[in-house]
Amino acid sequence: MSAKKTLIKNSSINLVGYIYLLFASFFSISILLNNLGREVFGVYVFLAAIIPLASVFDLGLGNAVVRRLSLPETSPEEKKQIWQTSFFLYLLFGLLISLTVLIIFTFFTNQLAILQKIPAASLSISVVILSLIVLINHLNACFLNLAQARQRFDIFNLKTLLVGSANTIFSAILSNFTTNLSNLFLLQLIFHFLTLIFLFRYALNSLKLKEILPQFNRHTTKNLINFGIRDFVGTLSSQFEAQFGKYALGTMISASAVAAYSIPQTIVLKAAGAISQIAIAFYPFGSSLLNKEKIYKLKRFIFAIEALTLIGGLLAIFITFSFGEDFLLWWLKDPVIVSLSYPILKIMVFYFCLVALTPIPTAVVQSLNYPQVSSFFALLTTSVEILLILYLVPQYSIMGVAYATLIAASISVPPFLITAAILLRRKTKQLEQ
């Protein structure tokens, strides 16, 4: 299969799964909001945010493993060591992060006013369940690396289908019968575990059992961490940026503020996530094109995707200002939430136009072995945004988070795109020599 067809096929599989998740989120958010109420929905969003935040604490192993497994010069024996070592490290990190989440949330149970919105027993059970989800989610990430490196995106999207359905449609259905958050999180835990079972079976079909089992190798660990730690700062910064606004509003304003902000943020991040699905397929694909014969084909792909993304961003701005408020009223059926969410959405759509341009260049600089570049700009974005949130939220309430997000992205995204272009040009010249 040609390079173009391979990328189109893998991106299409990712996008189909992601579009399904978009529709599932679309129907579930309004149901959860109405069934749980603004306050409890805000607490639900506040607690659920720990799962994606905890998932990034892997020292950048994900991209390091996928890159090493995708490189054409990596031998079968090296691939075996990479896989077994990464499994060992994911298991270790998962246990440590799960325990940390349990301890931190147990301590803060009686410290944060937002957590007093739900019964103490439900909160305690929810914290235990969330810590288990964090552990299983780490193990799922390990097995997903194998599928991504082998460009088996049908398997890669199993998590989208199972966990995504549990977090959206099935949780929304369950909320018709119970508003106990521990029940919702228990349902999601079950589907995380089912995903792990399916991914383990895939690994068994791809490798022998003795090749799957975790095993520590010091040399391989050093190589993976050497690359991963440079990427980890950026990944952690990006995830922290996505969740910090919720935690700031939850501690400084109210649970209702978290609910109002999370809706436009979800819309924007889900839309930007569609580009990230292409980047997920592009990462191992781009790594395989880093040679003299194919580098120009890679550059054409990048330019075409970025041009289409920019057009999509401008179209999103037009749609938001023309139909956004009517859409939110029809969707959420809560005029109070809409009156708070729509002004945020009008700011966040410009943020979307900027950040949607970054996933492909990020995949490029990582393929070029410069993960520290994307990490630097992600850290810059997050640092500026946090400082602005702390300054602007006391003055502008919820809108302060939106202003901070847009200003931070405006400062960091343009120089990052320029830097990525320079690095790609430099690599092209090196290959020509």
Question: What does the pLDDT read at residue 392?
Answer: 93
Q: Mean pLDDT in runs of 10 for the chain (433 residues)?
A: 59 71 84 89 87 81 77 75 87 93 81 79 91 94 82 75 90 93 95 92 78 82 79 73 83 84 86 72 53 66 85 93 91 88 94 90 80 84 92 92 94 93 81 67
* Per-residue confidence (pLDDT) for residue 277, from 0 to 100: 67
Return the pLDDT at 372: 81
- The whole-angstrom separation of Cα 281 and Cα 433 is 29
- What's the pLDDT at 188? 95
User: Using an 8 Å Cβ cutoff, are 77 and 260 in contact?
Assistant: no
- Residue 7, pLDDT score: 58
Closest to 356 (Cα-Cα) out of 304, 312, 319: 312
In this predicted structure, what is the pLDDT of residue 362?
Answer: 85
| Residue 70 contacts residue 288 (beta carbons within 8 Å) | yes
Alpha-carbon gap, residue 279 to 63, rounded angstroms = 12
pLDDT value for 192: 94
Taking the C-alpha atoms of residue 334 and residue 325, their distance in angstroms, rounded to an integer, is 12
DSSP 20: H
Cα–Cα distance between 298 and 291 in angstroms, integer?
10
Q: In this predicted structure, what is the pLDDT of residue 433?
A: 65
Which pair of structure tokens corresponds to residue 358?
A: 């970054």
**Helices marked H in 150-217:** 153-156, 158-165, 171-174, 181-206, 209-212
Q: What is the pLDDT of residue 66?
A: 78
Task: Please report, for residues 150, 250, 368, 376, 418, the alpha-carbon distance to residue 290 in angstroms, rounded to integers and kept in the order given.
Answer: 17, 45, 8, 23, 20
The whole-model pTM stands at 0.73
Q: What is the pLDDT of residue 294?
A: 61
